[in-house]
Amino acid sequence: MGIHMSINVSNLYLILFHQVKGIGIKKLKEIYKKFGDFQKAYNAPLEDFEKIIKEKKVITNVQKFLNQKEDVVKKVKQINILLKNREVRYVSYFDNDYPKPLLEIEDPPVGLYIKGDYLFEYLEKSVSIIGTRDPSFYGHSKARTIARELAEQGYTIVSGLARGIDMEAHLGALEGGGNTIAVLGSGVENIYPEEHKNLAKDILDNGGALISELDVNQRSSPHSLVSRNRIVSGLSKASLIIEGTLKSGTRHEANFARTQNKYLFALRPLSLSREISELPLDLIENGAIGIETTSDIIDFINSSIIRDESKKKTKKDLMDFIRIE
């Protein structure tokens, strides 16, 4: 299922609105509610914005943006050509095909640049696998094996294309003949780390996808590498932490998974004394599900689904009984 390259003109203007200082997802929602289209919004008078935006500094920034008509139209055309030439799709928060799981997280990305296949319809069975960039042999082996076996069972594997565990997760998914999504902390045309360009190509060649909330050619930053973890966990039904220290960036993924009410798994370490065992041990002590095999993950998810369905049925039966009474 390749990318349909029809570009929504409203989204091209949305990309530029989002670059205006002070315009984040909250204000973009207000603009969309009023105008229903960002091209239409751009051609509206400043007075219309003053009705929904009260901060003077932000209004000043919007005014400057609206006064740059010639430059903005030129940029819209340039973005359009770039996305078409690079075969990149842009899906915004306001589109019907925006991934529904991300609508439920606290800080959803305004939009996603997608290179490769559109895999968001396969998220009902999805697991993110991440961990340290410097894992043990055990961590390397387990990450790849679990990813491969999950992929063989129809699970989509989500990770971040980083060194170490992320790399093994993507490779395992490919070996298992399954879907894998790489959520980048850089633009989809600026692969980071650079040595994973071939892995990114393999993902694309095998029906996977690269996605990012950042502009196509944007470089990674410490902030963007952390921030993308909310998307990794947000897209997934469950998150698996393989290895990491207590100060590891992997902890951010675990925190996002918890706040997003995802199933949180951690691989039980072989050695309790190694520094990279600290994070999984801490997570397990604080409520994460300790696992050793792929079947531990699948069995838990399946049993949880059965319990949830049973609760829904009980609630429905109760409501039906109340209505009859």
Q: What is the dihedral of CA 6, 8, 12, 14, to 10 degrees?
A: -150
Which of 85, 86, 68, 54 is closest to 17 using CA atoms? 68
With 90 as the cut, is the pLDDT of residue 2 above it? no
With 60 as the cut, is the pLDDT of residue 325 above it? no
Which pLDDT does position 1 carry in this prediction?
A: 44
Which pLDDT does position 97 carry in this prediction?
A: 93
Rounded to whole angstroms, the Cα distance separating 34 from 17 reads: 15
Describe the chain by its helix, strand, coil percentages, rounded to 5. Answer: 50, 10, 35
Residue 95 is assigned to a structural domain of this protein: no
Give the domain CATH number at 221.
Answer: 3.40.50.450
124/81 same-domain check: no
Residue 2 is assigned to a structural domain of this protein: no
181/267 same-domain check: yes
pLDDT band at 272 (very low <50, low <70, confident <90, very high): confident
Residue 321 is assigned to a structural domain of this protein: no
pLDDT averaged over every residue in the chain: 93
Q: Which domain holds residue 41?
A: 9-85
Residue 325 is assigned to a structural domain of this protein: no
Percent of the chain with pLDDT over 70: 92
* Residue, of 314 and 226, whose pLDDT is higher: 226
The string of pLDDT tens digits covering residues 99-146 is 999 999 999 999 999 999 988 998 999 999 999 999 999 999 999 999
Rounded to whole angstroms, the Cα distance separating 53 from 30 reads: 9
- Indicate the pTM of the whole model: 0.91
pLDDT band at 304 (very low <50, low <70, confident <90, very high): confident
Residue 262 is assigned to a structural domain of this protein: yes
